[in-house]
Structure 1
């Protein structure tokens, strides 16, 4: 009996240890582990290359003489970038940030299993910081499902997967800290973001923020304060869905038009209108026949909420509207005569017929194509354009850093730029170029 125990003792111990390890692993396999195992195959590393002129290398006298012949690439250097992305369609459709791939001459995508592909850009939008890429694979690729951000709860668990500092397949977990967050970074105001305390570092940009069901509830895009601990941001999934659909179908986001002007709500105006809150934007004009007019918006209304989140001021309203492409309806909560009411507003594409009026009434400019360039052929007296000295015959090269060479290109650039408070022009006169900022005059012309 004693010998038998000695013989079977080690096996019993091993079996008990194995059973204990299995039970322990089952206990440790929580929701975060399951999300990672489910979604990580769909998260990709994105490497980019960008060629720029080198400011440091001097060309030799021989190169100067031959103008760089035989060495055209000399004097240029490659800058490498990195980021993350997530596959949302098995045919190879990938979502990432616009700033991850902006200006790239080559884009490489590496899957979690090591497979590598060259990617093409289907479409990108700097205003919403989203881009759609496409890779071609012989077989269906693993995907992550795009969920909704409409029902996010403050405090619910979220998981971020990406490649911070180039360390691929890095996982961090945290909670939803806030929704509808507005913040300022790099001299820009960012609106309607999901805030999380899940660690998000350089290289995480473009990767997914996931709920415990493994659904994408945001695309990680920003770091507050240069990497402050516990503060990261993601573009909410509902906005991602709208923008990705536009980029996939049209290659760009079609500028939307609602046909109203709004200004910041002052405390005095709020008191006069009976509004006892510190947020909101005041409607000052509604274009007859516009989407806003058809929805029932009136001059003097206070815009309180858009898409379920508060509107802080006029800039917040304009930025939020840009997140809804043409024909994408959204709820608008207004305050009028002591009561709130909710309207459904469906923006349309900006009417091309109104662009000339927009340029003349808001900027004081008329343009004309001549000899392959875009020249001014009219400057309205008393306008900001006239005050800075613009004259007929000046050549417009860029609108908000977008090259323009035709009247149609000018119209498209102006439609995109119109929701800003001003527009930056690069103007050439003779041999010299000048950057000029012109304000959109808010008391003239069509509503935006």
Structure 2
């Protein structure tokens, strides 16, 4: 027969349990730091993004003799992608990377509470690697605050939240390693990035980089998948500009500054009195352009743009794409031994200048004919003349974009105007061929 527990024994057990619970809560409160607070505050607004797309399978398998003779249609295989995003508006507005959703036929968003919603693309831009999505919900969704990146300090603590390799709600932390970072990878120039040592892996793309107040100060992008201690994020100030453009127009409107820039050779830098290893020189300013109105002159050295250094002419061109029409930016130029800050406000590219752009850069005059652009004239000595283009040739595509009407032709050229070359699909009679022209 068991000995009954005394009243004092019961009280002792209760007291020990109460003390243990109180101690655990006190210990948890002691361990609660700023990173824990950021995660608890913002993680409900971080989402997992899954995509579906179809691509031609490289493996057709065995085909029947009839299929061999007539040519079997390409087999399609369904591909899946993954990434992250962050809700920045309770009405269901989500920011992510363009490369996360590019080519997707379906986009699924999984919220922190486990709900899965279908997302629509409001707009996306490959040049800035940003996309804006929209999901519908009967109740307001948890949203993070889009902060500012202009006051970031090297060494300050940051937190990244996302779904690397499909592992949702993964948290990493580190510091801001650098700002205004420009580098080249995979044949592309990436500019104006926040660099951090917080781990950012495939699947983190599109997720938020946060400061200790829980504000989104960047959108993570996994550029170097094998990097150790090197992560990058698109700064919040740039995100806000592009997000506003995508929300209002569905795309980033081509903007016009009116500056032609070239790299600084050591000899040219000495002639201009510029003793730094960065910068680009203004080779031409288009009359009446925003640059002209801002007071920029030929021979000015472009030193800084939007608060960070300009490394070379390509860096200037690439970074200028991050400022849509009406989004002003400060430009520091060096002239006659001194520096001055000029405020430049890009505007939409004037349509009347498209014809001049086509004629001056390519040597072509075109008009729409039968779903393509027909070459009406070729300027002698131009790049088009050198490759053998002739009046009557049809231009069907520009940089793999269909140009069935003047508007699409203009848009394709505007998108390519900062590039060094342009790819044309030309039809002459029954034959089609590609030509690449310097641009």
Measured against the shorter chain, the TM-score band is over 0.9
Contact between 2:256 and 2:325, CA under 8 Å: does it hold in 1? yes
Identify which range, 154-163 or 377-386, moves more after superposition: 377-386
Query: 1:217, 1:82 → 2: CA distance?
Result: 22
Q: C-alpha displacement at 1:341, in angstroms?
A: 0.4
DSSP-derived class of the 1:227 partner:
coil
Contact between 2:279 and 2:302, CA under 8 Å: does it hold in 1? yes
Q: 1:92 to 1:262 in 2, by over 3 A?
A: same
Contact between 1:154 and 1:177, CA under 8 Å: does it hold in 2? yes
Q: 1:363 to 1:27 in 2, by over 3 A?
A: same
Match among 14, 17, 37 for residue 14 of structure 1: 17
1:245-299 Cα distance to aligned partner (Å, 9 max, x none): 0000000101111111110111111111111111111011111111011111011
Match among 47, 51, 57 for residue 50 of structure 2: 47
Query: 1:241, 1:324 → 2: CA distance?
Result: 11
Query: 1:320, 1:371 → 2: CA distance?
Result: 37
Identify which range, 51-60 or 238-247, moves more after superposition: 51-60
DSSP-derived class of the 2:27 partner:
helix
Alignment of 1:206-221 (within 5 A): 206-221=206-221
Query: 2:248 matched to 1:241?
Result: no
Contact between 2:371 and 2:403, CA under 8 Å: does it hold in 1? no
1:6-55 Cα distance to aligned partner (Å, 9 max, x none): 66443333333222211110111111111111111111111111112223
| RMSD, aligned α-carbons | 1.8
Tell me the residue number matched to 1:446: none
Alignment of 1:413-428 (within 5 A): 413-428=412-427
DSSP-derived class of the 2:29 partner:
helix
Q: C-alpha displacement at 1:4, in angstroms?
A: 8.4
DSSP-derived class of the 1:223 partner:
coil
Query: 2:178, 2:404 → 1: CA distance?
Result: 44
**Structure 2 segments unaligned to the other structure (5+ residues):** 1-5
Query: 1:270, 1:222 → 2: CA distance?
Result: 36
Q: C-alpha displacement at 1:395, in angstroms?
A: 2.1
**Structure 1 segments unaligned to the other structure (5+ residues):** 441-448
Tell me the residue number matched to 2:205: 205
Query: 2:385, 2:211 → 1: CA distance?
Result: 54
If the length of structure 2 is used for normalisation, what is the TM-score?
Answer: 0.95
Tell me the residue number matched to 1:444: none
DSSP-derived class of the 2:28 partner:
helix
Query: 1:415, 1:351 → 2: CA distance?
Result: 10
Tell me the residue number matched to 2:305: 306
Tell me the residue number matched to 2:37: 34
Query: 2:70, 2:423 → 1: CA distance?
Result: 37
Contact between 2:158 and 2:173, CA under 8 Å: does it hold in 1? yes
Aligned residues: 433
Tell me the residue number matched to 1:189: 189
